[in-house]
Amino acid sequence: MIAKITLFLLFLLLIWGNLVAGLKAGLACPDWPLCHGTVLPPFRWDIYMEFMHRIIGGVTSLFLVILSYQRFRVYRGPVKLVPVIILLLLLAQIVLGGIVVLLELPVDLTTYHFANAIVIFALTLYISFYDGNKRKPRFGIGGYKGLFFFLGLLVFVQAVLGAYVRHSGSGLACPDFPKCLGYWIPPELSGIILNHFVHRLLAYVITITVLILLASSYMTKGLRMFRKELLVLICLVVLQIVLGVGVVQTKLYFAVTALHLSFALLILSLVLYTWFRGMEEKYQ
């Protein structure tokens, strides 16, 4: 139960952070660790959006420490390092969060802060899947299951690139779709246009990769057991592309961007779950 609660809190924390950014409330609490010099800041909607982000972060951290400690006690061998790494990344995340605020949201550091959060989310998903009792921790990237590991890496890079696109002000660099500034390939690929275009290009690569895996599941025995996951995955990817178009068409409307991130996390979760299941299948 604690694993599910921790995952939910991490998911909520990431989405809430996205909403804070979308509503331009990231500096509503300009100091850290206090907010406007007090433990309980004055009431204003933007202040409390940021303040609640910190509260959710604190509760999530507590659950993450408890879950990591539980897994550390039952894990054996090298995988015992996974919960330790999670706690080290959590500590780095807390410090980074303070620095990001004090330096007034620098683009590179804000993107790294998001990337670190995604890594924590992925590792927490791992220790949630492998409880150390019924499911022993495993790691393997050979054979067909390795395809989902590398697909997960692609999705991770795409999510981080999406964060960079947003924080660097590149979200509306290509205001049209499916073309970019009226071109399939813009003549001037640099700066914010390059950022946005690469983000779109990687979305197509991920979509084509999932389609190839799905088609292969009808022809290859090794991928057949993943067909249900791949069918759900392609539906999520298509919806994610539609939401990506919606983000541009609504000019980065905060609710649409939050939903866009939600689907990105669902896609990453499903890809990682499929990878975990593939590793387990070897031992059945």
Q: Are 234 and 217 in contact (CB under 8 A)?
A: no
> Quick count: other Cβ atoms within 10 Å of Cβ 238?
13
CA-to-CA distance for 87 and 80, rounded, in angstroms?
Answer: 12
Domain boundaries, the chain: 1-137, 139-284
pLDDT band at 81 (very low <50, low <70, confident <90, very high): very high
Determine the pLDDT at residue 212.
95
Q: Is the model's pLDDT at 172 over the cut of 60? A: yes
Q: Residue 276 CB: number of other CB atoms within 10 A?
A: 22
Q: Distance from CA of residue 186 to its chain's centroid?
A: 28
Question: Above 50 in pLDDT, residue 156?
Answer: yes
Instruction: Give per-residue pLDDT as tens, 88-108.
Output: 999 999 999 889 888 888 889
pLDDT in tens, 27-47: 888 888 888 888 888 889 899
User: Does the structure show a pLDDT above 80 at 84?
Assistant: yes
Rounded to two decimals, the pTM is: 0.93
* Least trusted range by pLDDT, from 162-171, 208-217, 238-247, 275-284: 275-284
pLDDT (tens digit, 9 = 90+) per residue, 223-269? 898 999 999 999 999 999 999 999 999 999 999 999 999 999 999 99
Tokens of 44: 């204003």
Phi and psi at residue 75, to the nearest 5°: -70, 150
Distance CA 63, CA 151 (A): 29
What's the whole-number mean pLDDT along residues 189-207?
94
pLDDT of residue 101: 87
pLDDT band (50, 70, 90) for residue 283: very low
Mean pLDDT, rounded, of the chain: 92
Question: Burial letters for 8-42: b for 16+ Cβ neighbours within 10 Å, e otherwise?
Answer: ebbbebbbbbbbbbbbebbebbeeeeebeeeeebe
User: What pLDDT, on a 0 to 100 scale, did the predictor assign at position 284?
Assistant: 41
Q: How far apart are CA 29 and CA 18, in angstroms?
A: 16
User: What's residue 281's pLDDT?
Assistant: 63
Residue 280 pLDDT more than 80? Answer: no
> What is the distance of C-alpha 173 from the center of its chain?
23
Percent of the chain past pLDDT 70, that is, above it, reads: 99
282 pLDDT tier (thresholds 50, 70, 90): low
Predicted confidence (pLDDT) at residue 120 exceeds the cutoff of 70: yes
